[in-house]
Structure 1
Amino acid sequence: MPKLRHPAWSRLAQKAWLWALLLGGAAIFLFPFLWMIVSSVKTGEEVNQQTFWPELPEFRNQSPYVIESPLPPRPNGCDELRWQIIQPELTTHCSELIAADPARPRLLKSSEEKENFIQQASQYLLQRGLKKMPEHLWQHSSDSEIQQAFITALAAGNGQDAELQKAYANTYARLIIHGLKVRAEGAGVIYQSSFKKQPTTDELPTGLSLDESTSGNLAYDSDGQLVLQSHFSSSSDSSIVLHYQFTIPKKAGDIHRIIIPMTYDASWHQLHAQLKINGTSYQGTRSTWLAESKASSLTLQLGKPDSEDWGKRPWIPMQAIGDPQEGSGALNHITLTLTLDPSSTTVARAGKIQRNYQRVFLSMPFWKYIINSILITTLSILGAVLSSSFVAYAFARLRWPGRSIAFVILLSTMMLPPQVTMIPQFLIWREIGWYNTLNPIWVPTWFGIAFFIFLMVQQMKSIPRDLEEAAEIDGMNPLQTWYYVIVPLVKPAMAAIAIMSFMASWNEFMAPLVYLRDMGRFPLSVGIYAMAADETMTHDMPLILAGNLLMTLPVIIIFFFCQRYFIQGVSSAGVKG
């Protein structure tokens, strides 16, 4: 006789399958949001590496330093045994190319660092060469033919020297100071200096120096670039302070911006800027993270910007300390001071988490867009709640000829795609004179939304008519009955409508894109799109995802705290008394 399963175990197994199904579904829906959170703290280099988790920066005690490059995987079409034989030979060839290159970096101190650099650069160069080789060569060619094809692949395109420079750039991080430019208001560039090594001398540019108490050093690398070397034993070490003194004629115009082209070293240390012009000191209002190993610019803004710019604002505003001084003579005496502060592991990781979100605020007028979104959302919620409850009262509680036909016509409008009515609505609003205003976005909600009216009608039909009869005996007219009797009883449905209206209007994208022309009127949804459409930010995916996350958070918070009212309103709307 077969053994019967205990009922308790059967019920437990059913619940376990149900919970597993629910958790699996929740994980599937939460994964895109988790990916957005994780990717919003990445750097552009990490996005190109296509890894899920971002790298956590550590305290960087010295610069320049070697960047690790993984060994390339076995190519398709090459068996494991053959790869084990030919891979060391190709790597040795890359190492010999790098060792013989007079332009390879030479500022690494120890022999171990130099050997590690050659190894990492060789692995990167090997990866570059393998990508250019066709797969069929691995199946129908000898080892010598493979080696010759690899040499040919490295020389293809821009040439072998260009591939070597790419290998150096991706395996060797250094902090380069390229020079300095000064712009005057309305006069363009009035001063320019290059810090690259001159062919006739090894001396540093005139006026450039380091504080004697700092542990840094200025040196030229093999390519003639001026590199700021640093060595910290701990994050509590003293900062490295660099000074550059120069003069420009006063008649050239008021100094507007000072631009310092640099290449960062991804050390996640912080760089502070100070200026002294004719005795007046200026302090930068924020610091700069040395986040990625790529070319960038440190832009110092004196005075107000040229105009109201709705795009990115990467400059650092310089705040005057004390009263401005004109100075004597026909020259402006300027001292630029750059201070490099070492970052501990904790500070570096905190800086990486917040960096992209700080860049969002610098890349667009975030608070202006937030105010526009809040204004549109508030007016839309009020219009949706009031109009739906008012119109639904006429359909659910009042008796008038043609009520059923009008209700069917109202519900039939839900079957019309918004694309069908978009152009007629646009022509109407433009004829009224409301194009490029916020009115076409929120005014339609005050005329009722079919789905919300239907939801409210179902809720009002569950209310006993005895309450209306008692209100009528007390002398209330229909408007007073609606306000004092019906509205308090349909608050759950009104809360559900308010939540759905908030989500719809906060995320609304098409209507603002169609009706608005001036960027100063954009809501946050279109503002993030405009930021992403900027040609300088098109490929800056972490910045775009950080903006998307900031926009998504209010919706998640509102729904999380108000989901009880939402569920109660929707469920009660389906109960008919």
Structure 2
Amino acid sequence: MRHSVLATRLMIYSALVLGAVVFAMPFVWMGATSVKVDRELFTRELTIFPMAPRPRPVSPYIDEDYYPSAQGPHRDAVLAHLIHRVRRMGFAFPPDVDRADAETQLARGLFDRLRRILPDAQWQGPVSALLAAADKAVDRKMVAETFTRIDRRLILGPLRARTLDLVEYVLDDSETTIAYDFRTTDRRTWTRTVPLEFDPATLQRLQLNLHPDDTWHRLYLTVETAGRRYVAERPVVLVNFDWIVLTWRPPNPDDRSLTRAKTWITLVPAGTSTVTVPRQMRLTFELRRSSLLRAWGEKIALNYRRVLDYIPFWRYVKVSLVLVLLNVVLTLLSCSLVAYAFARLRWPGRDFCFALMLATLMIPAQVTMIPHFLIWRYLGLYNTLVPLWLPSAFGVPFYIFLLRQFMKGIPTDLEDAARIDGAGFLRIYAYVILPLVRPSLTAIAIFTFLASWNDFLGPLIYLSDQRLYPLAFGLFAFSLEAGNNPTLTMAASLLMTLPVIVIFFFTQRYFIQGITMTGLKA
């Protein structure tokens, strides 16, 4: 008997653990995807967890992680042949990289591409025929493209400026490779001094073409012109290895815009400068080394920072919190009052009205959607938040039913005792009934919070002003604006989901108690 009980408990706990793991997997996947960079999403192998960042101390360098291994038939023979093929071709490697390492990684990259180009029958045949096919497929263009994928270097490209009258100026059209070695120092600084063809006071933005080297180090910018000094409010993290365009702007009204994505870094005034020559600008770039811990922090925060820049996230949160508060308070007040009238008061037509209220549960919401919209528009409340919270003041039939069932199980002796002491209907409702139905009220509050926090259809129908968007609808608009970028969408979704998880974690006892006790009292 004892062994049977232990076995039963073991099975129950195993099922609970398995269920917890299964239900946690979507959240694990969401969190892991939210900290990935774009290139980690489009790989041939499915990976759940993000790649670890590697802050390299030296740049330029050859990335041995891009083609970590070469697997396939005749591997060693083909790799050796590809190295000789590249040497015979006379491919010129940059002098600032290790040639032997570059040849090894380049051969792996060519092998990987050949595995996808050549048919399987070719790989299963004689090695001589395979090497001949490899010679025919590998040309100088393929070698150059493959080397570009493993060559990591920090390059400063053309520098442009735009004035307030929307005139573009090319300040510097050169490309400069920045070499550094952080094994002996933690910082590297260099400057660019450029003449200006415009008044510095009319500067609207600076744009720099940058080729990062995927080292996760931080690039700071200081701008000095006309006796004033500006510093970037935050650094640029050298992530990925494709050309990007960086934008810096002096303080402007767009920094506080609620409808425009912030795709630039603000230049904050930082005192005076020694650059007083008219129409001259000095740019100081400072590269600071990132530790592995700092690199992980930058990777985790990268997509969340982009989300907060792209949308007025805290504005959406504020609107959602206002709607949640109004809906929860009005729903609890209206539903408890109506349920009290149905459960504890006697009045003509009570049962008929209760049956009529239950009948409204059978009407699909899609049937009343258009009439509701026409009513709110006729009242002049379209494109306001009123249609999203005022209906809660009229009660929710399902919640009224839950509370009525709970209240009908409360002994009438308590109510009679309160009435003998001189309490009226409202005093009995406030001081006797409400404290006893607290578990059900908590469950209803959680249901209402979830419904209001996740409401998407209501804002879609009644709102057109982006400043009024709640979080759920704002994230939908953001996903369209960001081009359905999975990493940004997952980061924004996780920010929206976290409050729900936290609230349910702290209130699950009341939630379960409210549901079970309501069922028992029915």
Same fold (TM over 0.5): yes
CA distance in 2, matches of 1:182, 1:571: 66
- In structure 2, runs of 5+ residues without a counterpart are none
> Does residue 1:459 correspond to 2:406, yes or no?
yes
Match of 2:174 among 195, 210, 214: 195
**Residue aligning to 1:286:** 234
**Residue aligning to 2:159:** 180
Match of 1:541 among 486, 499, 515: 486
Report the CA distance between 1:366 and its aligned residue: 1.2
Report the CA distance between 1:467 and its aligned residue: 2.5
**Residue aligning to 2:63:** 67
> How do 1:490-529 residues align onto structure 2 when only pairs under 5 Å count?
490-529=437-476
Report how many residues are paired. Answer: 517
Match of 1:418 among 342, 360, 365: 365
SS at match of 1:249: coil
CA distance in 2, matches of 1:150, 1:406: 83
Report the CA distance between 1:132 and its aligned residue: 3.4
**Residue aligning to 2:262:** 313
**Residue aligning to 1:57:** 53
**1:298-332 CA-partner distances (Å, limit 9, x unpaired):** 2111130558363431311111123699957xx42
Contact kept? 2:161, 2:205, Cα under 8 Å: yes
CA distance in 2, matches of 1:73, 1:428: 67
CA distance in 1, matches of 2:331, 2:289: 54
Report the CA distance between 1:29 and its aligned residue: 0.4
SS at match of 1:286: coil
Counterpart amino acid of residue 178 in structure 2? L
Judged with a 3 Å threshold, the aligned counterparts in structure 2 of structure 1 residues 458 and 18 are, in CA distance, closer, same or farther, namely same
**Residue aligning to 1:551:** 496
Contact kept? 1:98, 1:104, Cα under 8 Å: no
Judged with a 3 Å threshold, the aligned counterparts in structure 2 of structure 1 residues 146 and 423 are, in CA distance, closer, same or farther, namely farther
Report the CA distance between 1:149 and its aligned residue: 5.5
SS at match of 1:355: helix
SS at match of 1:336: strand
Contact kept? 1:191, 1:248, Cα under 8 Å: no
Counterpart amino acid of residue 171 in structure 1? I
CA distance in 1, matches of 2:26, 2:439: 31
> How do 1:90-101 residues align onto structure 2 when only pairs under 5 Å count?
90-92=78-80, 94-96=82-84, 98-99=86-87
CA distance in 2, matches of 1:522, 1:362: 16
**1:22-64 CA-partner distances (Å, limit 9, x unpaired):** 1111110011111112222221122223322222223411011
* Percent of residue pairs identical: 35
SS at match of 1:256: strand
> Does residue 1:336 correspond to 2:286, yes or no?
no
Counterpart amino acid of residue 83 in structure 2? S
Contact kept? 1:128, 1:154, Cα under 8 Å: no
- In structure 1, runs of 5+ residues without a counterpart are 1-6, 75-82, 197-225
CA distance in 2, matches of 1:416, 1:28: 35
Counterpart amino acid of residue 176 in structure 1? I
SS at match of 2:511: helix
CA distance in 2, matches of 1:325, 1:395: 80
Report the CA distance between 1:428 and its aligned residue: 2.4
Judged with a 3 Å threshold, the aligned counterparts in structure 2 of structure 1 residues 154 and 507 are, in CA distance, closer, same or farther, namely farther
> Does residue 1:20 correspond to 2:5, yes or no?
no
Match of 1:126 among 103, 111, 122: 111
> How do 1:177-326 residues align onto structure 2 when only pairs under 5 Å count?
177-196=156-175, 226-233=176-183, 237-250=185-198, 254-305=202-253, 308=257, 310-322=259-271
CA distance in 1, matches of 2:117, 2:133: 9
Judged with a 3 Å threshold, the aligned counterparts in structure 2 of structure 1 residues 174 and 9 are, in CA distance, closer, same or farther, namely same
Report the CA distance between 1:147 and its aligned residue: 5.1
**Residue aligning to 1:366:** 313
Match of 2:354 among 407, 418, 431: 407
CA distance in 1, matches of 2:12, 2:199: 79
Contact kept? 1:64, 1:107, Cα under 8 Å: no
**Residue aligning to 2:27:** 33
**Residue aligning to 2:96:** 108
> How do 1:371-410 residues align onto structure 2 when only pairs under 5 Å count?
371-410=318-357
Report the CA distance between 1:443 and its aligned residue: 1.8
CA distance in 2, matches of 1:267, 1:403: 73
SS at match of 1:122: helix
CA distance in 2, matches of 1:151, 1:416: 72
**1:225-266 CA-partner distances (Å, limit 9, x unpaired):** x211111115xx241111111121345870011111101111
**Residue aligning to 2:39:** 45
SS at match of 1:575: helix
CA distance in 1, matches of 2:354, 2:446: 24
Report the CA distance between 1:415 and its aligned residue: 3.7
Counterpart amino acid of residue 549 in structure 1? L
> Does residue 1:566 correspond to 2:495, yes or no?
no
SS at match of 2:314: helix
Judged with a 3 Å threshold, the aligned counterparts in structure 2 of structure 1 residues 523 and 103 are, in CA distance, closer, same or farther, namely farther
Contact kept? 2:237, 2:298, Cα under 8 Å: yes
SS at match of 1:180: strand
**Residue aligning to 2:377:** 430
Contact kept? 2:344, 2:407, Cα under 8 Å: yes
Supply the RMSD in Å over aligned alpha carbons: 2.7
